[in-house]
Chains A and B, each alone.
Chain A
Amino acid sequence: MVAEDGCLAFSRFGLGPRPGDLNRLGSDPASALLDEIADPTSLFIDQPDLPDSVDAYTELRRFQRARQLAKLQSTASENAAAPKPMDALLPKAVIAANGKVTVPGVPSPEDLMNAEIEARLDRVLNVPVGFGERLVAFWTNHFAVQAAANEIVRGLAGAFEREAIRPFVLGMFGDMALAVIQHPAMLTSLNNDVSVGPNSPQGRKTGKGLNENLGREFMELHTVGVDAGYTQADVTSFAKVLTGWTYGRGENEPENYGRFVFHKFAHEPGLQTVMGKLYPQPGVDQGLAVVADLVTNPATAKHLAAQFATYFVADVPPAALVTRLADVFRKTKGDLRALTTALVKSPEAWSTPASKLRTPQEFLWASARALQFRPEASFINRALGDLGEPLWNPPSPQGFKDDAATWLAPNAMTTRVDVAELVASRAKGLDDPRDLATDLFGAGLSSDTRTAIDRAESRNQAIALLLMSPEFQRR
């Protein structure tokens, strides 16, 4: 094995080494990566304390209702909302002086999100290499929901990743895409829950109409890509196809809370043509047919192969690698294990120089692993917010960028130094920074970095320098 290959396994493909990991990796880094993901269920997060979307959504509705009642009461409003059957069972919300609302026994969206973060942290600190988690991160970001959209997305973002992403990371892309487009977090994040066919019974009755958001992004971002040759007419048609795709949220269907439902009464009736193909199916089958075609469209293979290689290997990945990955995707009809294996077995994946920068999340996780440091959820939220990559909250449906130009930027770098110093001051442990650097990087440690660490004036400074060294930052 080339000395750098072990380091690359952790930086390019993993979450960074913990002390001892580089030694444990063995002489065949590619096999070690594939071994880690041999069992697809190892990527699942299935904990009794993490509610599924149905339970989480139900709790969110209770939280919102209890808050509404408390606010109406506090303003002594006479036009209080009509009482609902659920009210009797609701604990009373408490509104603090700073406006923060707590409902005893009912988690707030932030509570739900923090519990999800803790579960990710368990995973981050305990996986041997972190290749599986990096795959999850890639696909979660590919199908980005925006926590800032509303409280429901905030409260469901973790469940979305557990339910729609993790089970399919080593399965079929089409299954993942369908789980995503039918998930309440995505349906509300991209507003399909309020999209109504103008000629549907509900449209005729209420005058409500189409919302193209999900239809457009599913084509542009999630599948075929913006250059696939589709037109606005295709987007409009697909949006019509998707009308009625929503989740149970009405008072009249509490049994469907947090579940995908097809509302026939909101669905635009009739045939639709998307990218030159006629879809005559009635009801939900029409959408299933379009999705099935989009996920196996050759343009999707090209689009995803380029993104996959760009994320892992280089901002401008070797053309041969992209072509190979696209071929595998197309031939296997979107088998993501085949795609992943092809990446790891490609020589370019190992020979391309490390020119990307770790994203803030990757940086924080790698720091936590290297120092065996478990930050609190509040620290993670603050640090990732300052660094510009808050969990499940990208600035657009496109997700976070992963190119060096985005993160290797002046202000981003000085903030990164601040965070490195903060992490260094908080991480416990008696490890000598010199020994730690050797342990983490082995022969991959440059003499420049070694010298800088040797000369640091304190353990904390040495740790900060280690975390900010090119070896630690580049991947």
Chain B
Amino acid sequence: MKSPFVTDAMLCSSRRTFLAGAGALTAWAVMPKYAFAGQRRDPRFLTVILRGALDGLAVVPPVGDPDYPALRRDLAIGTSGFGSTLALNDFFGLNEAMPGLYGLYKKGEALVVHAAATGYRDRSHFDGQDVLETGMTGPKMSETGWMNRLASVMPRGDGVRPISGLAATPTVPLILRGDAPTLTWTPLDFKPAPSDTLDRLLDLYTHADPKMAEVLMAGVSTEMLAGGGTDPMKRAGGLAASFKQLAAGSAKLLLQEDGPRIAALSYDGWDTHTNEGAETGRLQGLLAALDGAFSALADGLQPVWKDTAIVVLTEFGRTAATNGNDGTDHGTATTAFLFGGAIKGGRVVADWPGLKPSQLYQDRDLAPTTDVRAILKGVLRDHLGVGEPTLTTKVFPDSIGVKPLDGLIA
């Protein structure tokens, strides 16, 4: 059977049909896949956080939406004159920088959720990431992360091993903070991913301390001349290597017999206010690096791939229209990715809200139609066997109104 919110039927879908469809599916989908597993399962679950707010419309552009080209202007990839995309279906394309993810999609192991957002509706990165990581209904409501709480309520598989989390960061990120044990790991010569911090500092200094601006600019130029880390091409190469290294190392740890079973990885740099470069440029470089990291996870986790689910999330999306600097500002809904052998993929799940001015959230952002917690609750229930009451009270408190999304797990 085909669910009405799958994009094959999406063009005629509306919020109402989505809700009706979801209700209809409940009967079979609430029974966790976990319970069906006839033999011993040892599932792996990873969350990849893209900090800075990923522009969902540039990663998975709605090339079939008639309002898309005008809204995105020079960033409207996949429309005539602005490059092509990898066709996910008649309506959505995937940014060409992500052939690896596309391959998984074609194999039915990757799924895109579009127009997704957490419950947070303001536009501060910190608060948005706080909500994404605590799983609460608003910012600063908890000092523990939902993945840590998940670790303490997860069924233990064979029942002997305490569930521990892996944070592929130098310190434990909020999403994994709490009482359950957490390992931290980063590559030996780990350097935070090159970000646009230099650009931001130059901007700050130009306003606040011109002498510092002049000196820093000279330093950046020198590094560029010397072939150092700030040359865009070399930077992209370093970025790809560092993204991949983090993913490959994490996969290794998750394969260990007594290793962690859940992990959180973070990749920074998605805050594309100026010169976004979705087709060629900064965002494209980031997406290519991310695609390499996805492939590294898929390769590294091959022995347990059929029991692996990976969710890729960001704190919020970006403005539907481009701004005056060939970039986009902080927005609301965006895309989430799910991939792994356990994912029932090859689909775009979206209750598409449309891009007409009246359909935009506050006249500017892609409107949210799927709660990120609905995605997560669906995955945690069906992949890890965590009961709905626990999900609603412990992992995502006060989320009784957010129903798990059914049918995400194969």
Cβ–Cβ contact B51 & A458, under 8 A: yes
Chain A contacts with B in 389-445, Cβ cutoff 8 A: 408-414, 417-418, 421-422, 424-428, 430, 432-434
- Chain A residues with Cβ under 8 A from B20's Cβ? none
Cβ–Cβ contact A458 & B268, under 8 A: yes
Taking the complex as formed, is A462 at the interface, i.e. its CB lies under 8 A from any CB of chain B?
A: yes
- Chain B residues with Cβ under 8 A from A432's Cβ? 126, 140
Q: Which residue of A lies closest to B174 (CB)?
A: A430
Taking the complex as formed, is B124 at the interface, i.e. its CB lies under 8 A from any CB of chain A?
A: yes
Whether A473 contacts B200 in the complex (CB less than 8 A), given A427-B171, A433-B126, A459-B126, comes out as no
Selected from B129, B140, B205, B222, the residue in CB contact (under 8 A) with A459 is B129
Cβ–Cβ contact B197 & A464, under 8 A: yes
- Chain B residues with Cβ under 8 A from A413's Cβ? 212, 215-216, 219
Taking the complex as formed, is A460 at the interface, i.e. its CB lies under 8 A from any CB of chain B?
A: yes
Cβ–Cβ contact A458 & B125, under 8 A: yes
Taking the complex as formed, is B271 at the interface, i.e. its CB lies under 8 A from any CB of chain A?
A: yes
Taking the complex as formed, is A119 at the interface, i.e. its CB lies under 8 A from any CB of chain B?
A: no
Cβ–Cβ contact B195 & A457, under 8 A: yes
A81-89, A174-182, A209-217, A447-455 - interface stretch: A447-455
Distance of A29 Cα from B167 Cα, bound (Å)? 42
- Chain B residues with Cβ under 8 A from A461's Cβ? 52, 195, 197, 200, 268
Whether A410 contacts B215 in the complex (CB less than 8 A), given A425-B169, A432-B140, comes out as yes
Taking the complex as formed, is B208 at the interface, i.e. its CB lies under 8 A from any CB of chain A?
A: yes
Selected from A409, A454, A468, the residue in CB contact (under 8 A) with B124 is A454
Distance of A430 Cα from B220 Cα, bound (Å)? 32
Selected from B129, B177, B212, B273, the residue in CB contact (under 8 A) with A408 is B212
Taking the complex as formed, is B172 at the interface, i.e. its CB lies under 8 A from any CB of chain A?
A: yes
Selected from B140, B191, B205, B268, the residue in CB contact (under 8 A) with A457 is B268
Taking the complex as formed, is B83 at the interface, i.e. its CB lies under 8 A from any CB of chain A?
A: no
Taking the complex as formed, is B31 at the interface, i.e. its CB lies under 8 A from any CB of chain A?
A: no
Distance of A430 Cα from B191 Cα, bound (Å)? 21
Distance of A424 Cα from B205 Cα, bound (Å)? 19
Chain A contact residues, majority secondary structure: helix
Taking the complex as formed, is B209 at the interface, i.e. its CB lies under 8 A from any CB of chain A?
A: yes
Cβ–Cβ contact A470 & B195, under 8 A: no
Tell me how far the C-beta of A409 lies from the nearest C-beta in chain B, rounded to whole angstroms. Answer: 6
Chain B CB within 10 A, most for which of A433, A446, A458, A474:
A458
Distance of A424 Cα from B209 Cα, bound (Å)? 22
Q: Which residue of B lies closest to A464 (CB)?
A: B197
Taking the complex as formed, is A157 at the interface, i.e. its CB lies under 8 A from any CB of chain B?
A: no
Distance of A414 Cα from B201 Cα, bound (Å)? 11
Taking the complex as formed, is B203 at the interface, i.e. its CB lies under 8 A from any CB of chain A?
A: yes
- Chain A residues with Cβ under 8 A from B171's Cβ? 425-428
Chain B interface residue number, banded: 35 or more
Taking the complex as formed, is A469 at the interface, i.e. its CB lies under 8 A from any CB of chain B?
A: yes
Taking the complex as formed, is A456 at the interface, i.e. its CB lies under 8 A from any CB of chain B?
A: yes
Tell me how far the C-beta of A406 lies from the nearest C-beta in chain B, rounded to whole angstroms. Answer: 12
Taking the complex as formed, is B211 at the interface, i.e. its CB lies under 8 A from any CB of chain A?
A: yes
Whether A409 contacts B192 in the complex (CB less than 8 A), given A434-B126, A470-B205, comes out as no
Chain B contacts with A in 152-200, Cβ cutoff 8 A: 169-172, 174, 177, 191-192, 195-198, 200
Cβ–Cβ contact B220 & A414, under 8 A: yes
- Chain B residues with Cβ under 8 A from A464's Cβ? 197
Taking the complex as formed, is B204 at the interface, i.e. its CB lies under 8 A from any CB of chain A?
A: yes
Distance of A185 Cα from B172 Cα, bound (Å)? 42
- Chain B residues with Cβ under 8 A from A424's Cβ? 192
Taking the complex as formed, is B269 at the interface, i.e. its CB lies under 8 A from any CB of chain A?
A: yes
Taking the complex as formed, is A465 at the interface, i.e. its CB lies under 8 A from any CB of chain B?
A: yes
Q: Which residue of A lies closest to B124 (CB)?
A: A454
Distance of A433 Cα from B52 Cα, bound (Å)? 15
Q: Which residue of B lies closest to A433 (CB)?
A: B126
Q: Which residue of A lies closest to B221 (CB)?
A: A410
- Chain A residues with Cβ under 8 A from B129's Cβ? 458-459
Distance of A425 Cα from B125 Cα, bound (Å)? 16
Q: Which residue of A lies closest to B330 (CB)?
A: A455
Cβ–Cβ contact B197 & A452, under 8 A: no
Tell me how far the C-beta of B274 lies from the nearest C-beta in chain A, rounded to whole angstroms. Answer: 12
Distance of A426 Cα from B171 Cα, bound (Å)? 6
- Chain B residues with Cβ under 8 A from A418's Cβ? 191
- Chain A residues with Cβ under 8 A from B198's Cβ? 414, 417
Distance of A413 Cα from B221 Cα, bound (Å)? 12
Chain A contacts with B in 340-393, Cβ cutoff 8 A: none
Tell me how far the C-beta of B198 lies from the nearest C-beta in chain A, rounded to whole angstroms. Answer: 6
Tell me how far the C-beta of B131 lies from the nearest C-beta in chain A, rounded to whole angstroms. Answer: 13
Distance of A455 Cα from B53 Cα, bound (Å)? 12
Tell me how far the C-beta of B234 lies from the nearest C-beta in chain A, rounded to whole angstroms. Answer: 14
Distance of A454 Cα from B273 Cα, bound (Å)? 14
Distance of A468 Cα from B191 Cα, bound (Å)? 17
Distance of A459 Cα from B177 Cα, bound (Å)? 15
- Chain A residues with Cβ under 8 A from B215's Cβ? 408-410, 413
Selected from A411, A417, A426, the residue in CB contact (under 8 A) with B222 is A411
Selected from B52, B53, B212, B222, the residue in CB contact (under 8 A) with A473 is B212
- Chain B residues with Cβ under 8 A from A473's Cβ? 212
Distance of A409 Cα from B216 Cα, bound (Å)? 8
Question: A-facing mask of B92-117, CB < 8 A → 1, else 0?
Answer: 00000000000000000000000000
Tell me how far the C-beta of A27 lies from the nearest C-beta in chain B, rounded to whole angstroms. Answer: 27
Q: Which residue of A lies closest to B271 (CB)?
A: A457
Distance of A457 Cα from B318 Cα, bound (Å)? 12
Taking the complex as formed, is B223 at the interface, i.e. its CB lies under 8 A from any CB of chain A?
A: yes
Q: Which residue of B lies closest to A430 (CB)?
A: B143
Q: Which residue of A lies closest to B209 (CB)?
A: A470
Distance of A466 Cα from B140 Cα, bound (Å)? 21
Cβ–Cβ contact A425 & B170, under 8 A: yes
Tell me how far the C-beta of A13 lies from the nearest C-beta in chain B, rounded to whole angstroms. Answer: 21
Q: Which residue of A lies closest to B127 (CB)?
A: A432
Cβ–Cβ contact B219 & A448, under 8 A: no
Taking the complex as formed, is B218 at the interface, i.e. its CB lies under 8 A from any CB of chain A?
A: yes
Distance of A452 Cα from B216 Cα, bound (Å)? 17
Question: B-facing mask of A71-85, CB < 8 A → 1, else 0?
Answer: 000000000000000
- Chain B residues with Cβ under 8 A from A446's Cβ? 208
Cβ–Cβ contact A410 & B216, under 8 A: yes
Chain A CB within 10 A, most for which of B203, B208, B270:
B208
Cβ–Cβ contact A470 & B212, under 8 A: yes
Cβ–Cβ contact A421 & B172, under 8 A: no
Whether A448 contacts B268 in the complex (CB less than 8 A), given A414-B219, A414-B223, A456-B200, comes out as no
Taking the complex as formed, is B2 at the interface, i.e. its CB lies under 8 A from any CB of chain A?
A: no
Give me 12 other A-B pairs in contact (C-beta within 8 A), A433-B126, A457-B52 excluded. A417-B198, A425-B169, A430-B177, A452-B204, A455-B125, A457-B53, A457-B195, A458-B125, A458-B129, A459-B129, A470-B204, A470-B209
Task: Give me 29 A-to-B residue pairs in the complex whose CB atoms sit less than 8 angstroms apart, sorted by A's number.
Answer: A410-B219, A411-B219, A411-B222, A413-B215, A414-B198, A417-B198, A421-B191, A421-B197, A422-B192, A425-B170, A426-B170, A428-B171, A433-B126, A434-B126, A446-B208, A448-B208, A452-B200, A452-B201, A452-B203, A456-B125, A456-B200, A457-B125, A459-B129, A460-B192, A461-B52, A461-B268, A470-B208, A470-B212, A474-B209
Residues on B facing A (Cβ under 8 Å): 51-53, 124-126, 129, 140, 143, 169-172, 174, 177, 191-192, 195-198, 200-201, 203-205, 207-209, 211-212, 215-216, 218-223, 268-271, 273
Top 8 closest pairs, chain A to chain B, by CB: A457-B271, A457-B52, A410-B219, A414-B219, A410-B218, A458-B51, A470-B209, A448-B208
